[in-house]
Amino acid sequence: MSKARLLVELDVIPDQADAFVAMFLSEFVSRSRTEDGCEQYELWRDPANPAKMTIIEVWRDQAALDVHLSQSWFGDWAPKMEAMQATPLVVRALASVED
């Protein structure tokens, strides 16, 4: 069974970057890390451009990721995230060469 891995790239409106980080940590990271099958869930910032961020997710398998993506709280949270984005998300599903 292969792990499910996502790399999510986003650009936040620069003057909202710190507020985005605070919201993301309290509302999203804290919930996601407690979900069954979550092995890694982190938000990273580009040190040269703090409004450019990357989310790295590793899930036990695709089923665990599917459950995560179906959470009802996404409906409340997604509009907040979208309002702070300067550009649309880029979501990349990754497969390890070691799987």
- Is the residue at 93 inside a domain? no
> How many CA atoms, within 13 angstroms, populate the side-chain half-sphere of residue 28?
22
- Residue 27 confidence (pLDDT): 86
Nearest to 22 by CA among 46, 43, 52, 39: 43
In this structure, is residue 69 part of a structural domain? yes
Assess whether pLDDT exceeds 90 at residue 32.
Answer: yes
CATH number of the structural domain spanning residue 17: 3.30.70.100
Domain count across the chain: 1
Largest pairwise CA distance in the chain: 42
Is 90 part of any domain?
A: no
Give me the pLDDT at residue 77, please: 83
Helix/strand/coil for 94 = strand
In a domain, 1, yes or no: no
Overall average pLDDT of the 86-98 stretch: 92
Structure tokens at 17: 């970057």
Write out the residue range of the structural domain in which residue 24 sits.
13-84
38 falls within a domain:
yes
Report if residue 17 sits inside a domain.
yes
What is the reported pLDDT for 16? 96
